[in-house]
Structure 1
Amino acid sequence: PTLNPADSGYGWKDHGIVVQTDEHSDHNAIDPAIVRTPSGELWMVYGSYWTGIKLFRLDPVTGKRISPDAPTYSLARKEQIEAASIYYHDGYYYLFVNWGHCCRGVRSTYNIRVGRSRAITGPYLDRDGVDLLEGGGTLLLDSEGSAIGPGHAAFFPRDGQELLSYHFYSAEDNGRAKLGVRRLSWDEQGWPLAGELVTTGSIVEPTRRD
């Protein structure tokens, strides 16, 4: 299969469930994010609320857990936590999570927190040395001006720069959701900084394709 629409093999194929939770589970199977280690291993971080953020290793061929008995690691816990992603930089794995409430327009309380670890499986500590499993989390980005509830950090390179993308709610536009992109930089201790705003996305109305 390919995602090139011009190719005859274009299309998605359902290979089944990677992970699932139900009303009896101690966490939610939402917000998956994939990370590749410098050695080429694939891992998936996901989860929200209750016992928090989880991680397990993936089989690069199937896209599923590398083996049925492969462990699931707990990385971070908070009463309101989700939207995790992991970014590798200069010998550390940085775990980004959201605290607070999403999806409430200008009443959203989302803010992005971070901790780091030498190992992808943790422990992840914040700038003050507090484990994210014990409520730690250094603030990276909070509501600022008319940009309310920033969340769901993701990272990508462009023209030799590291960029941080996230969504937020615009108090100047009736609380509509928008995309923000900032330059990502690092302080002398190796902690990430959300730099100047590069761009904010325009509104794209939802469409449906049957």
Structure 2
Amino acid sequence: MPAGKPVETGNTYKNPVVNYSLPDPTIIKAGDGNYYLYATEDIKNTPIHRSKDLINWELVGTAFTDETRPTFEPRGGLWAPDINYVNGRYVLYYSMSVWGGEWTCGIGVAIADKPEGPFTDQGKLFRSNEIDVKNSIDQFYIEEGGKKYLFWGSFRGLYAIELSDDGLSLKPGAEKRQVAGTAYEGVYIHKRNGFYYMFASIGSCCEGLKSTYTTVVGRSKDLFGPYLDKQGRSMMDNHHEVVIGKNEQFVGTGHNSEIVQDSKGKDWIFYHAVSVDNPKGRVLMLDQVRWENDWPYIAGGTPSLKADRPVF
């Protein structure tokens, strides 16, 4: 039985798609045709799940073991992974932090030949006190114009910096630049129709049914902004549009994944939420992203309880 619930069949699915804690999901379609999803280590050492249809998931292992896990923050947890395929290998960026360790937390990187690992740690890119950005976690990798960049940040501003050609270190001499204000964490940027869309999360992630986490977005004509809301106000000033809010079944709806497409060209996004029926941890959610006037939205603005499934 995959991922703690019966196999979903037919033309519809129900949220959550995984009914145990898989916070801060990141997803990639691998060369074998499967999707692989990675999450914050509520399952120790960074869990890896696999699916063919985005609905039915099986746990296939972890990115690390107790012996191979990163060590630069010795008592730290591995949070908010970001999976990519770079130069012919799988590159997993991760955050490492203890609660409250805003100056010692940081971002590292690991590599593997296969999406299921094993991943070999390449060490840290930087800690907060080395790059002078408090709470340096929640990284996102993107390529643009033949260059590689890392975006990151958590309620102390969102920032970007250029990486080396292999993506495993900062480019020598690169300078960080701020791209959004202090309301946000969990940044993800999606390119579509000449716009860059900066998705992020606001509010509290981890207070159970009191969590206020909400997924928001702004858009820009340039990768580095300014990212604006529909009224032209800047995310540097903490303005945005809400994409996914709470409803009677799910709260704390945030930290979205990359957008992936099904065979019909429909866009889908994963995120986590706290379930009223199962409030322990943050369960894995899936919803279709729709577009109107080049702005993304979720039907009803809150998690679906039952919906038409992706088509493959």
| Superposed pair shares fold, TM > 0.5 | yes
Residue 150 (structure 2) pairs with residue 44 (structure 1): yes
* Deviations, residues 21-41 of structure 1 (Å, cap 9, x unaligned): 13994431111111233x443
Aligned AA for 1:170?
S
> How far 1:68 moved relative to its partner?
2.3
Counterpart in 1 of 2:295?
191
CA–CA distance in structure 2, aligned partners of residues 194 and 148 of structure 1: 15
Partner-residue secondary structure (3-state), 1:14:
strand
Change (3 A) 1:71 1:81: same
Identify the match of residue 61 of structure 1 among 148, 163, 166: 166
Contact 1:183 1:197 in 2 (8 A): no
CA–CA distance in structure 1, aligned partners of residues 234 and 115 of structure 2: 43
CA–CA distance in structure 2, aligned partners of residues 13 and 175 of structure 1: 31
Residue 200 (structure 2) pairs with residue 97 (structure 1): yes
CA–CA distance in structure 2, aligned partners of residues 70 and 114 of structure 1: 27
* Deviations, residues 1-29 of structure 1 (Å, cap 9, x unaligned): 51266xxxx63333222121139944311
Contact 1:54 1:72 in 2 (8 A): yes
Counterpart in 2 of 1:84?
187
* Deviations, residues 84-104 of structure 1 (Å, cap 9, x unaligned): 111111101111111111111
Change (3 A) 1:128 1:24: same
Q: Identity across aligned pairs (percent)?
A: 25
Aligned AA for 1:20?
R
CA–CA distance in structure 2, aligned partners of residues 198 and 42 of structure 1: 38
CA–CA distance in structure 2, aligned partners of residues 59 and 24 of structure 1: 16
Larger relative contact order (CA 8 Å, sep ≥ 6): 2
Structure 2 stretches lacking a partner, 5+ long: 1-111, 308-312
Partner-residue secondary structure (3-state), 2:122:
coil
* Deviations, residues 67-113 of structure 1 (Å, cap 9, x unaligned): 222121211113x4211111111101111111111111111011111
Identify the match of residue 127 of structure 2 among 13, 20, 26: 20
Counterpart in 2 of 1:147?
250
Partner-residue secondary structure (3-state), 1:22:
helix
Counterpart in 2 of 1:11?
118
Change (3 A) 1:58 1:24: closer
Residue 284 (structure 2) pairs with residue 179 (structure 1): yes
Contact 1:47 1:53 in 2 (8 A): yes
Aligned AA for 1:48?
S
CA–CA distance in structure 2, aligned partners of residues 101 and 186 of structure 1: 27
Contact 2:148 2:162 in 1 (8 A): yes
Partner-residue secondary structure (3-state), 1:119:
coil
Counterpart in 2 of 1:204?
none
CA–CA distance in structure 2, aligned partners of residues 62 and 44 of structure 1: 9
Partner-residue secondary structure (3-state), 1:163:
strand
* TM-score, structure 1 as length reference: 0.81
> How far 1:174 moved relative to its partner?
3.0
Structure 1 stretches lacking a partner, 5+ long: 201-210
CA–CA distance in structure 2, aligned partners of residues 187 and 124 of structure 1: 18
CA–CA distance in structure 2, aligned partners of residues 62 and 36 of structure 1: 10
Counterpart in 2 of 1:208?
none
Contact 2:181 2:235 in 1 (8 A): yes
Aligned AA for 1:142?
G
* RMSD of aligned residue pairs (Cα, Å): 2.4
Change (3 A) 1:4 1:180: closer
Contact 1:181 1:198 in 2 (8 A): no
CA–CA distance in structure 2, aligned partners of residues 4 and 94 of structure 1: 26
* Deviations, residues 117-173 of structure 1 (Å, cap 9, x unaligned): 111111111111111111211111111221101111122122222111100000111
Aligned AA for 1:77?
G
